[in-house]
Structure 1
Amino acid sequence: MTTIITKTVTRICLPLVILFSISLLLAGHNNPGGGFIGGVMFASVIALTYIVFGIDHIRSFFNPDWADLFASGLLLASLTAFAALPFGHNFFRSAVEFLHLPFFGEVELVSAALFDLGVYFVVIGSLLSVLKNVGDDK
């Protein structure tokens, strides 16, 4: 049983923490942050939502299979790590490309960002899969 204050704070924090986790993910290859800490932030706010509203209430409108997210993230991270080998480069070699976009200016595209995205999905999928399995009454 939670209070109205806890539910209100959770509703306010949910979108803010999700946006913060995405900003940590996007800044990760050049600045502090990355897929791991962004995934932990995302999983923590979803875990808070599970705790405050109850897993059955959340499951009524939002019930993803977190193991699928884990598997797709692991596949993406693995493919990114092995992608340089066919081109004669070392394992985990990162590629950098600069694009000039009309309204944004110069944008840096880095293959390490795809690896961070895979790690982000792995962390979210693993933490929330464990939380969901522990929270289930079977």
Structure 2
Amino acid sequence: MTTLITKTITKICLPLVILFSISLLLAGHNNPGGGFIGGVMFASVIALTYVAFGLKYIKSFFNPDWGNWFGFGLLLAALTAFSAIAFSHNFFRSAVEFVHLPFFGEIELVSAGLFDIGVYFVVIGGLLSIFKNVGDDE
């Protein structure tokens, strides 16, 4: 049983930490951050929610199969790594494209960003699958 203070702080932290983890993910190919640390941040706040509210309460309205998240991330990361070979480049070569969008200006699209998204989902799926399986054991 957790306190009201813990539950309230968890409700406040949940959206803020998720937004911060996405920020780390998107900045990762040029700045400190990336898919791994963004995924750890996301998994940690979901784990905090599990601890604060209990696994049964969370499963009543939010019960994804974290193994599918892991599989999707692994597939995306592998496809990104091998896609360069299809274009006669070295394994894992990153491609960069600059695109002009109205209201945003010029943005940089990097294939390493797709790899980071794959890592993000692998970390989230792996950590939360382990956490959920350990928490389910009664």
5+ residue gaps, structure 2, are: none
The 5 Å alignment of 1:79-118 reads 79-118=79-118
Q: TM-score, normalised by structure 2?
A: 0.99
Distance in 2 separating the partners of 1:121 and 1:35: 8
Root-mean-square deviation (Å): 0.6
5+ residue gaps, structure 1, are: none
Partner letter of residue 12 of structure 1? I
- Equivalent in the alignment of 1:10: 10
Distance in 1 separating the partners of 2:63 and 2:86: 39
Q: TM-score, normalised by structure 1?
A: 0.99
Runs ≥4 residues deviating over 6 A: none
Distance in 2 separating the partners of 1:86 and 1:24: 30
Distance in 2 separating the partners of 1:54 and 1:132: 11
- Equivalent in the alignment of 1:66: 66
* Number of equivalent positions: 138
Distance in 2 separating the partners of 1:56 and 1:20: 27
The residue matched to 1:109 in structure 2 has which SS? strand
Distance in 2 separating the partners of 1:128 and 1:60: 17
Partner letter of residue 136 of structure 2? D
The residue matched to 2:91 in structure 1 has which SS? coil
The residue matched to 2:61 in structure 1 has which SS? coil
